[in-house]
């Protein structure tokens, strides 16, 4: 048995969905809830999207605390099972801590403006028009693909490897793998290239070719930057997040299970 979590001040946040709001009312007396800015940990009611929203809010506010999710959404990959019965405080005390390091995107647009955003799941480059995108791909300063003709390309963390990356036929990465998935989206050329698995210390950059004819947008989770000239990506270890999971329902177990799903 690992050391139990001991949080004296807990916050409760819920999505606007009816199920999440109902659960928030049911849990009103489960703890002496405090505002998020005063809490040592936060209980998140909703789905994966709302969990990502909450984590990004903490990153933006530069005050990151552990998050324990209860699934009131659809998939709930980042969440724990919601149960009406059982002591929530005991579940949180026994929860396993999982560290999740986000990606940092530095995107430069055609007018020279620089935009910096974090992504917990993935950063995607996507064509803006019917024209196929053409992108130069470099890893650690070395050009690996001179011209990738595609609908787009993405770089995913282990936590995000079962999201958009999996839909684009990218690999599922174990949470402790210290790897990143570099995955093309509908690639046309090179025809046989299906992506790469990279150490998470890698620095990946994309340069948009023929941007006037083939404009490209960059998306860091839910934040979009259009008319991209180039993008530089790397893991942001200084902004590490902590997710809390019930024993037997940890994120790394879910990643393994997903590979055997029918």
Say whether 22 is catalytic.
no
Q: Does the annotation flag 164 for ligand binding?
A: yes
DSSP state of 189: B
Q: Does the annotation flag 166 for ligand binding?
A: yes
**Which backbone phi and psi does 164 adopt, to 5 degrees?**
-60, -40
- The H or E element spanning position 253 is helix 251-258
Q: Does the annotation flag 163 for ligand binding?
A: yes
Q: Does the annotation flag 165 for ligand binding?
A: yes
Taking the CA atoms of the chain, what radius of gyration do you get in angstroms? 20
Q: Does the annotation flag 132 for ligand binding?
A: no
Q: Does the annotation flag 49 for ligand binding?
A: yes
Q: Are 12 and 33 spatial neighbours (Cβ–Cβ below 8 Å)? A: yes
Q: Does the annotation flag 162 for ligand binding?
A: yes
Buried b (16+ CB within 10 A) or exposed e, 109-146: beeeeebebbbbbbbbbbbeeeebbbbbbbbeeeeebe
Q: Does the annotation flag 109 for ligand binding?
A: no
| Matching residue, tokens 């040592």 | 40
DSSP state of 151: S
The Cβ of residue 19 has, within 10 Å, a number of other Cβ atoms equal to 16
Please state the length of the chain.
262
Q: Does the annotation flag 122 for ligand binding?
A: yes
Which residue in the list 48, 90, 146, 176 is annotated as catalytic? 48
Q: Does the annotation flag 68 for ligand binding?
A: no
The residues annotated as belonging to the active site are 48
Would you list which residues are annotated within the binding site for NAD(+)?
48-49, 53, 121-122, 151, 159, 162-167
Binding residues, as ranges, are 48-49, 53, 121-122, 151, 159, 162-167
């Amino acid at each position: 048995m690992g050391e139990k979590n001991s949080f004296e001040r807990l916050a409760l946040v819920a999505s606007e969905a009816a199920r999440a709001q109902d659960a928030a009312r049911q849990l009103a007396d489960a703890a002496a809830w405090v505002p998020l800015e005063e809490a040592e940990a936060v209980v998140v009611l909703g789905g994966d999207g709302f969990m990502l929203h909450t984590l990004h809010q903490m990153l933006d506010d530069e005050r990151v605390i552990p998050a324990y999710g209860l699934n009131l959404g659809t998939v709930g990959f980042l969440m724990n099972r919601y149960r009406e019965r059982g002591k929530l405080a005991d579940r949180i005390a026994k929860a396993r801590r999982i560290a999740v390091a986000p990606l940092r995107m530095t995107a430069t647009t055609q007018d020279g403006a620089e935009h910096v955003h974090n992504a917990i799941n993935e950063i995607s480059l996507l064509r803006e028009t019917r024209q196929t995108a053409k992108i130069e791909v470099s890893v650690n300063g070395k050009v690996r693909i001179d011209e990738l003709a595609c609908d787009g390309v993405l770089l995913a963390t282990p936590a995000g490897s079962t999201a958009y990356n999996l839909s684009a036929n990218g690999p599922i990465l174990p949470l402790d793998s210290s790897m990143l998935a570099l995955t093309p989206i509908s690639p046309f050329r090179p025809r046989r290239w299906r992506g790469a698995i990279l150490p998470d210390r890698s620095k990946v950059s994309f340069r948009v070719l023929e941007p006037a004819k083939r404009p490209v947008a960059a998306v860091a989770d839910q934040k979009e930057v259009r008319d991209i000239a180039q993008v530089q990506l790397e893991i942001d270890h200084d902004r590490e997040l902590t997710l809390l999971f019930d024993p037997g329902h940890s994120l790394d177990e879910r990643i393994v299970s997903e590979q055997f799903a029918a």
